[in-house]
Amino acid sequence: MKRLLLIILLIFLSAGCKNSLPQPAVISGESSHAQTTIVFWNENAAADRTQYYKELISRFEKENPDIHVEYVGLPKKAARLKINTAIATNELPDVCGVQSAWIAEFYNKGVLLKLDNWFENWDGKDDIIGSVIAANRRLAPDGGLYQLPNTMGMEILWYRQDWFKQAGIEPPSDWDSFFIATEKLTDTAKGHYGYALRGGDGAAIQLLRAMFAYSGETQFFANDGHCVIRDPQYIAFVKRYLGMYRECTAISDITNGYQEMVAEFDSGQAAMMQHNLGSYGSHQRSLSEDQFKALLLPRSLKGTIVQEANNVDGYGIFNTTKHPEAAWRFVSFLCSPEIQSWWNERIGQMPVSHKALSDELVNNKEHMRLTRQALASDKMRFYMPPMYLPNYRKIVDGTDTDIEQALMGNMAVEDLLAKWADKFEQANRDYQQKK
């Protein structure tokens, strides 16, 4: 355990370097003693997560009868537009799910409450992995803490073990064997495909993680300032990766977001899908334990295992709140070791709590053991996405439409990556000039 935590420390300390929205679901826990109401927005709502939050809110309100929590579940694809609209109209909630990639942007807009004073006086402070806190601080120019983390993600290749056994194929260990497997496991006559490609919402961030997992590189910008994703090795990989569309994937994959991709895998249409540990709960409800398994993304060209650094989710408090103390009590509740364990048992992501990392779930669940073993491996490497750029995630998410165009044959891969790299390079120049 000590070695694992040391590795995590090193990893995260290096990490800093249309017009209408779907109607959100609104629920609240029951409390007859509520005196203060706070509003919580979940930025990644789905049916299961809404139910889990409902249970947690009910529990929190029983422990804190003076606080009432109103829950608003935002569909993932609509969340950022909803939040940006709320920023513009000054109608923000008290608490919101905040991804690490959003910290710099929200800091730049001046909308997050600095959490340092509460954190330093919190009895759970020393239980949160210090390197995760340090990495989050590095994303804010003033070094402050603007997100309290509760999970860290690891990108996973989920595969249908029963399909592989029936076909007599070993699970892929490198990218060549991955692409070969997608071909062998595709049977269009049966409606079976080797891979569930994410071509819609979230396509770009998933592709970016696969690109670095393939190359083995860890630097996003070269010494001369150019963004490496325009280099030939990435062009070759993306051509092959996107080239699976229609050949080894369903035609409908061009619009796949998270839910569609997971549904395709869980319903028996696809042999493999890429996502993080957080889809475990869905797979578990739909499939038996002997039908699906997890792998880390295939080995890179360098023989290493490459993951995105500082891939952390957590919660922030908007500085427009009229109830900061109540908001902090709710956020710290959600990030407590007991709740982290409860959450990760149902969702499947790695906790950032020392105590939760030692619990039975992490030690006994195969996909969790896989992640821990990988973290302790001398083959593990982490690439450093420029999350310090205020518009980092805007650039990434804005590339989803270009990927769709590439899948349709309307944009060459070379042009896709050059356009993407140009945006990153310009954003980095602007950032460096303002420092």
More confident residue, 390 or 19: 390
- Kindly report which listed range (16-20, 128-132, 210-214, 399-403) carries the lowest average pLDDT score: 16-20
Asked whether the domain spanning 155-308+384-434 has the same topology as the one spanning 2-152+311-364, the reply is yes
Mean pLDDT of 285-304: 95
More confident residue, 68 or 343: 68
Residue 6 has pLDDT above 90, yes or no: no
Q: What is the pLDDT of residue 4?
A: 53
Q: How confident is residue 13, by pLDDT bands cut at 50, 70 and 90?
A: very low
Q: What is the mean pLDDT of the chain?
A: 90
Q: Where are the domains of the chain?
A: 2-152+311-364, 155-308+384-434
Residue 7 has pLDDT above 80, yes or no: no
Q: What is the pLDDT of residue 207?
A: 98
Q: What is the pLDDT of residue 273?
A: 98
Q: What is the pLDDT of residue 153?
A: 85
Mean pLDDT of 326-348: 92
Give per-residue pLDDT as tens, 163-182. 999 999 999 999 999 999 99
The CATH architecture assigned to 2-152+311-364 reads: 3-Layer(aba) Sandwich (3.40)
Mean pLDDT of 260-273: 97
Q: What is the CATH number of domain 155-308+384-434?
A: 3.40.190.10
Of all residues in the chain, the percent with pLDDT exceeding 70 is 91
Q: What is the pLDDT of residue 361?
A: 66
Residue 133 has pLDDT above 70, yes or no: yes
Q: What is the pLDDT of residue 75?
A: 86
Give per-residue pLDDT as tens, 378-433. 999 999 999 999 999 999 999 999 999 999 999 999 999 999 999 999 999 999 99
Give per-residue pLDDT as tens, 358-379. 887 666 788 888 888 888 889 9
More confident residue, 52 or 12: 52
Q: What is the pLDDT of residue 1?
A: 54
Q: What is the pLDDT of residue 104?
A: 94
More confident residue, 374 or 22: 374
Q: How confident is residue 22, by pLDDT bands cut at 50, 70 and 90?
A: very low
Q: What is the pLDDT of residue 31?
A: 42
Residue 115 has pLDDT above 80, yes or no: yes
Residue 27 has pLDDT above 90, yes or no: no
Q: What is the pLDDT of residue 15?
A: 45
More confident residue, 46 or 241: 241
Residue 133 to residue 212: CA distance in whole angstroms: 24
Give the pTM: 0.86
